[in-house]
Structure 1
Amino acid sequence: MTLMTRRALISRGALAGGAAATGGMLLSGCDRLAENEQFRQILFSGEKINYHLQRLVVDRNALAPEFRPDQMSPRFRTNGTANPGTPEYGRMVAENFANWRLKIGGLVTKPTELSLPQLRSIPARTQITRHDCVEGWSAIGKWHGPTLKSLLQLAGVKPEARYVLFTCADLYGGKPYYETIDMTDALHPQTILAWAMNDRVLDVGHGAPVRLRVERQLGYKHAKYVMAIDAVPSLSGIGLGKGGYWEDRIDYDWFAGI
């Protein structure tokens, strides 16, 4: 039996039929379904089934596809915020991030702060992967930075940590953007904190000075402008409790595995 992942569905266009069916549902009153709590719970249970099924049948270290340099996209659009636009972030850009510090805390034995030169001195991974955006576009780019696993090990992550929280420089409603992943994705060999893209230092539009690359997830999980990383025991107490800004506000799936 062939396992069809969300990545395969996107790449093969197999969602087209589903999109057409969804459009018909919208025309016939799907809005009322979306307002129905029982229907919403069915959707959420489907996400949980997808999450547990993938964790059960997919190797924890299975790699997302990687590509050759000649396959890289000529244009890689920005997703989400294009510039945080805050005075604090503006100062960091003006200083070339000289005073930026990445804070690593939460359930760790050695809370750590890293400057950008210190982060860049850590052995790094380079990977050419495809970014699949929930907005319907994809692009292949080259990313370079240390694995998240190496950073968590540096800070001495504790065994009771189950999730990793990313707090970012861009603000939504006056509060920092946030996203989470579980420890399986956090320790995956392709999950990196990228400081370079396409052989250049990361630019503002793509998340400078560093952004998360979690290659087995859809694009909205790839937090940009990362300021702090915290190992946490659960999703409770983070935003509205669903694990991320978009998950809390417009019911995006917390698990966006592809």
Structure 2
Amino acid sequence: MTIITRRKLITGAAIGAGSLLSGCDALNRSAAFQDVLASAETANFTVQRALGDRMELASEYRIADLSPKFRANGTRDPGTADYAASAAQSFANWELRLTGLFAKPQQFSLAALQALPQRTQITRHDCVEGWSAIGQWTGVPLNILLDLAQLKKEAQFLVFHCADRLGGRPYYESIDLLDGFHPQTILAHRLNGEPLPIENGAPLRLRVERQLGYKHAKYVTGIEAVASLAGIGEGKGGYWQDVANYEWYAGI
């Protein structure tokens, strides 16, 4: 059996196990099934990391390929008084805080982020629900912020804290440092040449282009560097992982 075949088989097992979650509550509640799902996810993550180039780029497209409208999904507006007040000021008072395992914790206004070197990329957004859209994103590469804040050696993951809440829970997501330093991982503030719309995550949205759409956290207010995800939420690495057993690593 070739390496390529092994990779496809393991990746397929992880995707197939994940797809069962939406259609079979009995399996979802089964401890044995959860063990199978976890092992498949670990295999998917390990094999993709072992075989893939760490800096391999997601496909990029042309202006002519842009979708007529970039579909909004999930929260369309955090709906809080603080968020509404900030939006009324065009997010001039928005702050992004870098906390946790950084030697030099940072905070940035939206204007300060926009003054840093920027990256523009046209990429395809693939949603776990089965739809895709192509959009042009502009924002600051995350690796620039990580270099400014200087990660401590204990740091292993980056947790993105957000302004929205779902079902009374604060929304959050996380990635590892490999994706954190990937050149296409950016904090986007523009979509298709215009300021990021509220429904698409204004003023800041994570773009982590080699993962499925639910990993692209919207309304980002903070980035926390941690050694472990165990103490965040239910310890699974993100809102949808906690409430619906989505895979933590959603590579595409």
Q: Same fold (TM over 0.5)?
A: yes
CA distance in 2, matches of 1:162, 1:5: 27
Say yes or no: does 1:69 pair with 2:63.
yes
Aligned partners of 1:79 and 1:219 also within 8 Å: no
1:228 alignment counterpart: 222
Q: In percent, how many aligned pairs have the same letter?
A: 54
Q: What SS does the corresponding residue of 1:146 show, helix, strand or coil?
A: strand
2:81 alignment counterpart: 87
**Count, aligned residues:** 244
Q: What SS does the corresponding residue of 1:166 show, helix, strand or coil?
A: strand
Deviation at 1:33, TM superposition (A): 2.9
TM-score (norm 2): 0.91
Deviation at 1:22, TM superposition (A): 6.2
Once the two structures are superposed, what CA deviation does each residue of 1:22-52 show, in whole Å capped at 9, x if it has no partner? 69xx6xxx54333321112101110010000
Deviation at 1:176, TM superposition (A): 2.2
- Write the mapping of 1:78-227 to structure 2, written as runs, cut at 5 A: 78-227=72-221
CA distance in 2, matches of 1:177, 1:218: 17
Give the unaligned 5+ runs of structure 1: 10-14
Structure 1 stretches of at least 4 aligned residues deviating more than 6 Å after TM superposition: 3-6
Q: What SS does the corresponding residue of 2:133 show, helix, strand or coil?
A: strand
Q: What SS does the corresponding residue of 1:78 show, helix, strand or coil?
A: coil
Cα 1:175–1:39 change in 2 (3 A) is closer
1:44 alignment counterpart: 38
Deviation at 1:96, TM superposition (A): 1.2
Give the superposed CA RMSD: 2.2
Deviation at 1:119, TM superposition (A): 0.4
TM-score (norm 1): 0.89
Deviation at 1:100, TM superposition (A): 1.0
2:47 alignment counterpart: 53
> Partner letter of residue 106 of structure 1?
G
